[in-house]
Structure 1
């Protein structure tokens, strides 16, 4: 069993390594908090050397300044050679701006508004099936199909892609940082992407992917756009839904309040995103010498942003480790990013979370049927396994 004792905490605080075997979710929270409440910026020699930034104001400053803190060398470190860039997150302007423009249509407010009835219908089907059976694994039977199903509605994913995307994404994250090259995992993903492009081109419909695939866009760019939607479009929402249900299943009094106060459900969604960041540890590279806080970073310095730590910074969020529906600034979390790389899908994610909460409010209380397993994917995403609940009347 992995230790979470003081020796492990101290070692990983001193030499931060998000891929260390003992860097489990419980350890990460403590280490992240110690770094934030210490200097706020510290140095690790892991993976060629990085500056770890963990305070809210400092992380926010980096996110907003894309000219000084570039994404063009890739935001995931380490990264197996041969993996193509993801769009638009691994690019700077002007390429980033053009890629974001191409990716924007399914995430525009009018499109999300049009999708809302179908999103609510899917939530009703998934929650209803679980409640009728008296419970089940809400990570596998609600969070995953909800996230992938809504993504399919938004962009037009094929049935084949919907069935394969989760396994391929899991394999991608398992090997992205540790494989000697991409040959062990990327070809299978590329095969799915090629099939998806061909399916979209043959489709008689006018889905986003069908329209995109008919444009004179290089195949590599199409793959980069689709894989970004496939990965980011389902994983973050899936993990946030799981975290929300994990918390609520342990707190029936919060379930009852959400049932009685519909207006608090949007707060619950943002508070979940604040308290448990769905995707932590992005990096940037300094384009020039820059002073951040009291630290001078040299040109070329790689900076790792601990968004989880920033979202729990008591300077911004008093009593930060407490999940509170009465917190007035939950929406100021950094889980959706800021600046030119702010998450395009934030509106759709909020719609999904609200749809799930609205549907759950129509059923009885649910409680954990056992302690779920939590693990990191690539040291960045906390995934739940065997998140079983039972429903009351």
Structure 2
């Protein structure tokens, strides 16, 4: 007898496993919410056993307490042996501070201010042919190329690398938790990074990768392993998270023309819509930590050395923090308190870049005709941590024209 959705939910609440094939985007929100409402701390025997924190204040406290909830064992779990660490998220202090300083330049306020006009032009260049055609896939023709293109502008990725990183990232996420070692996917990614490092050394210039490959720490050159760790992190998270965030927001707007109209007439609403979208649909639903000591939460003791899943999606929909949390409400006032970019020392280094991309997208689309879904898109998890669309097919409505035939 085929299990009903209720059966699947009940099973996954008892034995939570975000890599289970039945843990679909449609099921996940129900499971995550029920885990949060069930208890402050829950345990799952999956993958050798791990603990789950799902309430807002508990997840935030764990993110703040990096000494107890360590990232040094890697935040992705399970993880194929031989995959290098991601920088800076897989490091604890003091290494974390050194790496974050190396990664900071392209994400600093002044660098983003200089990047903003180019990002806006890229959005316009991507949207213009879609509007002229009258139809589009807003995932493959806007969210994906925009995130990769802006990343390329920010750090100086070659065109060849930009054309390859999505496929390499997709392959990595597919195999990272399934394979016993990384030989099936990491060598291809490493080859790409080697090409970028060689290019940056042979063609120096005023771009981040060129500065990075020549940087020194305590007078010594950065190791090759560190270069790979930093650049792969930029390549993966630098396009994945903005792409995931833009996809969710574009999907929602395509089904809500009334909100599109408000964004045209109320430009001051756009920032709030960005923050509410980030709260409602976290770009990465979960990451993990490992405890360095016994820690007691709500009467439950998590032993030292335990893997702990931080369930960001559930925390961002905790009614104790966000009343009516499943509603999309740009006027709720505290949307920006979401944990979608983490908190504390591991707060996402690219958070402002992602916000800039989302805002630029809303600004450009507000100048364009309304768009509506032509079919309900299919969605799936990559590595059990973030949702990817098969496509977001839309039709652009014919613009209003004045008596002279011009848009009016």
User: Under a length normalisation based on structure 2, what TM-score does the superposition of the two structures give?
Assistant: 0.95
Note the residue ranges of structure 2 that are not aligned, 5 or more in a row: 216-220, 400-408
Alignment correspondent of 1:117: 117
2:186 pairs with 1:181: no
Contact 2:32 2:54 in 1 (8 A): yes
Alignment correspondent of 2:193: 193
Alignment: residue pair count: 392
Residue 162 of structure 1, CA deviation: 0.1
Alignment correspondent of 1:332: 337
2:361 pairs with 1:386: no
Contact 2:40 2:297 in 1 (8 A): no
Q: Separation in 2 of the partners of 1:26 and 1:52? A: 20
1:71-115 per-residue CA deviation (whole Å, 9 max, x = no partner) reads 001100000111111111111000111000100000000110111
Matched residue SS, 1:16: coil
Q: How does 1:208-247 map to 2 (within 5 A)?
A: 208-215=208-215, 216-247=221-252
Q: Separation in 2 of the partners of 1:256 and 1:19? A: 39
Alignment correspondent of 2:259: 254
Matched residue SS, 2:267: coil
Alignment correspondent of 1:108: 108
Alignment correspondent of 1:284: 289
1:27-78 per-residue CA deviation (whole Å, 9 max, x = no partner) reads 1100000001110210001111111110001000001110111000110000
Alignment correspondent of 2:87: 87
Matched residue SS, 1:263: helix
Contact 2:71 2:288 in 1 (8 A): yes
Q: Separation in 2 of the partners of 1:116 and 1:3? A: 50
1:3-41 per-residue CA deviation (whole Å, 9 max, x = no partner) reads 661100000000000011101001110000000111021
Residue 291 of structure 1, CA deviation: 1.5
Alignment correspondent of 2:152: 152
2:307 pairs with 1:302: yes
1:153-179 per-residue CA deviation (whole Å, 9 max, x = no partner) reads 110000111000000000000000001
Alignment correspondent of 1:73: 73
Alignment correspondent of 2:406: none
1:204-223 per-residue CA deviation (whole Å, 9 max, x = no partner) reads 42100011112321111000
Q: Separation in 2 of the partners of 1:202 and 1:327? A: 51
Residue 391 of structure 1, CA deviation: 0.5
Q: Separation in 1 of the partners of 2:299 and 2:282? A: 26
Contact 2:341 2:351 in 1 (8 A): yes
Matched residue SS, 1:128: helix
Matched residue SS, 2:309: strand
Contact 1:135 1:390 in 2 (8 A): yes
Q: Separation in 1 of the partners of 2:271 and 2:40? A: 30
Q: How does 1:42-81 map to 2 (within 5 A)?
A: 42-81=42-81
Alignment correspondent of 1:134: 134
Contact 1:239 1:382 in 2 (8 A): yes
Please, which moves more after superposition, 289-298 or 79-88? 289-298
Contact 2:126 2:142 in 1 (8 A): yes
Residue 182 of structure 1, CA deviation: 0.7
Note the residue ranges of structure 1 that are not aligned, 5 or more in a row: none
Alignment correspondent of 2:279: 274
Matched residue SS, 2:277: helix
Residue 299 of structure 1, CA deviation: 1.1
2:392 pairs with 1:355: no
Bigger Rg over Cα: 2
Contact 1:287 1:300 in 2 (8 A): yes
Residue 335 of structure 1, CA deviation: 0.2
1:365 to 366, 370, 394: 370
Greater than 4 Å deviation, 4+ residue runs? none
Contact 1:88 1:99 in 2 (8 A): yes
Please, which moves more after superposition, 121-130 or 353-362? 121-130
